[in-house]
Amino acid sequence: MKRMLTRSGGTWKLGGVAALALAAGCGTPEPEVSWHKDVSPIMQEHCTRCHAPDGLGIGDFTDLDNVRTFSGRIEARIDEGSMPPATSDPECRDYLGSEHLNLPEAKKDVFRRWVELEMPEGDPELAPELDLPADTLEDADLVLQPPEPYQPRFEDPQNPGNEYRCFVLDHGRDEPFYVTGFYPIVDEPQLVHHVLLLVTDESNIPSDYDPAVGVDCIDGNGIGDISGMIAGWAPGMQPVRFDDGRGIKVMPNQKLIVQTHLFRKGPEVDGLTDRTGWSLRTSPGVATEMLMVPLGYYRFRIPAGDGDYTYDGVERGEGPIELPVSATVHAVFPHMHVLGKRYALSVTPPEGGEDTCVVEGDYDFDNQLSYVLKEPLGVPRGSKINFSCTWDNSAENPDQLVDVPTEVRFGERTDEEMCYAFSLVSLGLPD
Ligand code: HEC
């Protein structure tokens, strides 16, 4: 029996459990923390949806040698909390897929301990069975993609390596229908940072719209009515299904729009094309119609150079909003542009008292998600809706588009901002 587990040039330190196993004399001990048993599962549950050969992030975290090579940078990013990318705080509320979107402290400790132990491989037999999120909507009945593959041009000088492309998707239905589930079809994961689904009236489509190339856009820019945002997706979000007779109505004269944020992670993606679209599950009728409420502010003025400016609508008479009817909230989709830093949406009961948190977290333009509430939230008439957006309009913000920051107001352009909490609601309280 080996007293020390050696690796080329290094020595495994033995953890408490391994030392005990040795003392008991039961063969080659399994390290306290190993790749197969502990670390590979963490990577698969939280990282490889982006950090895999066909993914958007760098490296291949399905591979032990790769993770060993990147371990220093991984530890630095999990220490500072910048990986995985920020999402709504699970302490605020439980969302569909929360368990995969955030990395709990205990798992960070497992990774740190593994590095301390010099990253042992361990026994592949001990790899646990994992329940990983699905990446298709199997029961989709309406699949919409742009007619031709599109090769990004990345020619926006203000925002190098980034392109926001919109395509009009024709649902081809001549009767109203309801969307009861959605999930994007991500055609080229190496290019696609995030995907939005918008809806607009046919009359908004410009007559010179070219279906082969779509249009350069950030929020529709003329082809999308921003009040018609339906969903946002980033890698890791699960397929959404409203299984209890609920759906979002789409009219025959409306068009769906896919907005894809294409990202040039490096020269290896040059020449790749993309045909990302959406798969939808639909129904001709539903018991409960869900409405997309564009809860948002329009009068904010983000001061030039302010690195932490919060607007809650009160200053200019836009908030808080008093709810005129009772409603149930099913999902919320916070949306700002590239200066967005934090958002918070909460509800104060009609009689006053403690606020209920709905979504709250650090905002990352590159990781926009629809937060589907695991438990729909009833909001009685007369409740106050408190919503705030925080931006970083300083010169130090790496996402800042200009050298000398200027005051920023509401608008659709990349260098303008938004402050929305698009909310999927139904009328009345939950049964
Ligand atoms: C939603 C996609 C996504 C997920 C999930 C994700 N990453 Fe990333 N990661 C990226 C992208 C994109 C980059 C490159 C941009 C950047 O550095 O922020 C990146 C960069 C990194 C880097 C920096 C590499 C360098 O060049 O220094 C590290 C380290 C990292 N990620 C680790 C992780 C770990 C660990 C996890 C899981 C706990 C994780 N990431 C989850 C998308 C993701």
Cα-to-centroid distance, 29 and ligand 1 (Å):
33
User: Does the structural domain 289-427 have CATH classification 2.60.120.230?
Assistant: yes
Per CATH, 142-286 and 289-427 having the same topology is answered yes
Q: Three-class SS of residue 192?
A: strand
Cα-to-centroid distance, 392 and ligand 1 (Å):
21
Nearest atom of ligand 1 to the alpha carbon of 43: 37
- Could you give the CA distance from residue 104 to residue 370 in angstroms, rounded to a whole number? 21
Cα-to-centroid distance, 345 and ligand 1 (Å):
27
Nearest atom of ligand 1 to the alpha carbon of 49: 5
84 lines ligand 1 (CB under 6 A): yes
pLDDT, position 320: 92
Q: What is the token pair recorded at 43?
A: 């990577």
CATH topology of domain 142-286: Jelly Rolls (2.60.120)
83 lines ligand 1 (CB under 6 A): yes
Is residue 86 a contact partner of residue 234, using CB atoms and an 8 Å limit? no
Beta bridge partners of 150: 274
236 lines ligand 1 (CB under 6 A): yes
> To test ligand 1's pocket by mutation, which of 35, 44, 45, 58 has the most ligand atoms within 8 angstroms of CB?
58
Q: Per-residue pLDDT for the chain (431 aa), expressed as one digit of tens each?
A: 333 333 333 333 334 444 444 444 455 789 999 999 999 999 999 999 889 988 888 899 999 999 999 999 999 999 998 899 888 888 999 998 888 888 999 999 999 999 999 999 999 999 999 988 888 899 999 999 999 999 999 988 878 888 999 999 999 999 999 999 999 999 999 999 889 999 999 999 989 999 999 998 888 877 877 778 888 888 878 899 998 899 999 999 999 999 999 999 889 899 999 999 999 999 999 999 999 898 999 999 999 999 999 999 999 999 999 999 999 999 999 999 999 999 999 999 999 999 999 999 999 887 888 899 999 999 999 999 999 999 999 999 988 988 999 999 998 887 899 999 999 999 999 97
Is residue 260 a contact partner of residue 274, using CB atoms and an 8 Å limit? yes
Is residue 226 a contact partner of residue 218, using CB atoms and an 8 Å limit? no
pLDDT, position 24: 43
Nearest atom of ligand 1 to the alpha carbon of 74: 29
User: In terms of C-beta distances under 8 Å and separation of at least 24 residues, what long-range contacts does 148-154 make, across chains too?
Assistant: 148/211, 148/212, 148/275, 149/187, 149/273, 149/274, 149/275, 150/212, 150/213, 150/214, 150/273, 150/274, 150/275, 151/271, 151/272, 151/273, 151/274, 152/191, 152/262, 152/264, 152/274, 154/262, 154/264
Structural domain boundaries in the chain: 15-126, 142-286, 289-427
Q: What is the token pair recorded at 349?
A: 């009961």
- Could you give the CA distance from residue 60 to residue 52 in angstroms, rounded to a whole number? 4
pLDDT, position 27: 58
Q: Distance of CA 267 to CAs 126, 190, 390, Å?
A: 38, 11, 34
Cα-to-centroid distance, 420 and ligand 1 (Å):
26
> To test ligand 1's pocket by mutation, which of 51, 74, 262, 263 has the most ligand atoms within 8 angstroms of CB?
51
Cα-to-centroid distance, 48 and ligand 1 (Å):
9
Q: Which residues of 225-238 are buried (b: 16+ CB within 10 A; e: fewer)?
A: bbebbbbbbbbbbb
186 lines ligand 1 (CB under 6 A): no
- Could you give the CA distance from residue 162 to residue 262 in angstroms, rounded to a whole number? 6
Nearest atom of ligand 1 to the alpha carbon of 263: 12
Q: What is the token pair recorded at 390?
A: 């925080």
User: In terms of C-beta distances under 8 Å and separation of at least 24 residues, what long-range contacts does 23-29 make, across chains too?
Assistant: 25/1, 27/1, 28/1, 28/2
Cα-to-centroid distance, 309 and ligand 1 (Å):
27
77 lines ligand 1 (CB under 6 A): yes
pTM for this predicted structure? 0.86
Q: Which of 28, 231, 218, 227 is nearest to 137 (CA)?
A: 231
pLDDT, position 23: 41
> To test ligand 1's pocket by mutation, which of 83, 99, 105 has the most ligand atoms within 8 angstroms of CB?
83
